Amino acid sequence: DLITKAPGTYHHSLMVANISANCVEAIGGDSQLARVACYYHDIGKLEHPFFFIENLPGHMESPHNMISAEESAQIIFNHVTKGVEILTQHQLPQAVIDICAQHHGTTLMKYFYAEALKNNPDVKEEDFRYPGPKPQTKEAAIINIVDSAEAATRAMKEPTLEKVEALVHSIIMNRLEDEQFVECDITMKEIAIVEKMIVTSLNGTFHSRIEYPTIKKQEIK
């Protein structure tokens, strides 16, 4: 269903699975669990695929433009709760369901929060935070980082190594400052290993190819 109804999400999930499994393996975690969990982590997007940028056809206006920031946030949140519902219904392992529930932690949906503030300065920040829980395992923490990093790099214009490094580092620092990993046992040393691996993987996938100058025959001596 995912490949036909939400092809962008399908490809994103494969990328996140490959990178996450390698990172988890590097720190001695359960790479097979990480891979399987990534395949299903965004299954809840099937309910409203066009509300997620990776599935929006180029010619189509974003449906978010037609509804309020509060309604947009609710639809985005629901991909987590709907995902948990689908996976539970199909009796997937609890560890896979847990990662689906935790892959955004309690992070703030900054864009829609900022949009809502324009219309109502009294809007509550907690209304624009994912319901959580925060990542409870190293695998969930890594998938949380990779998921955001892959999506943000994909959206980047002309990614370079420096841009990718800065982006991945800022995502990790944001998670740490927001105390997203305080309920799991991932260490700073492990986060440093994971950061390098994510940068290498994303740079290899998205880095713009160098355009070599064409040489005319008469210039070759």
Express each pLDDT in 37-80 by its tens digit: 999 999 999 999 999 999 998 888 999 999 999 999 999 999 99
Distance in angstroms (rounded) separating the CA atoms of residues 157 and 208? 9
Distance in angstroms (rounded) separating the CA atoms of residues 140 and 29? 11
129: which strand partners?
108
Q: If you average pLDDT over every residue of the chain, what do you get? A: 93
- 64, 72 Cβ separation under 8 angstroms: yes
- 163, 203 Cβ separation under 8 angstroms: no
Angle between helices 69-89 and 110-119 (to 10 degrees): 150
Q: Is the pLDDT of residue 114 over 50?
A: yes
The pLDDT-based confidence of 212 (bands split at 50, 70, 90) is very low
Q: Domain map of the chain by residue range?
A: 2-206
Distance in angstroms (rounded) separating the CA atoms of residues 90 and 93? 9
- What is this structure's pTM? 0.91
Q: Is the pLDDT of residue 211 over 60?
A: no
Task: Dig out the tokens for 208 from the structure.
Answer: 């713009």
Share of residues in the chain with pLDDT > 90 (%): 88
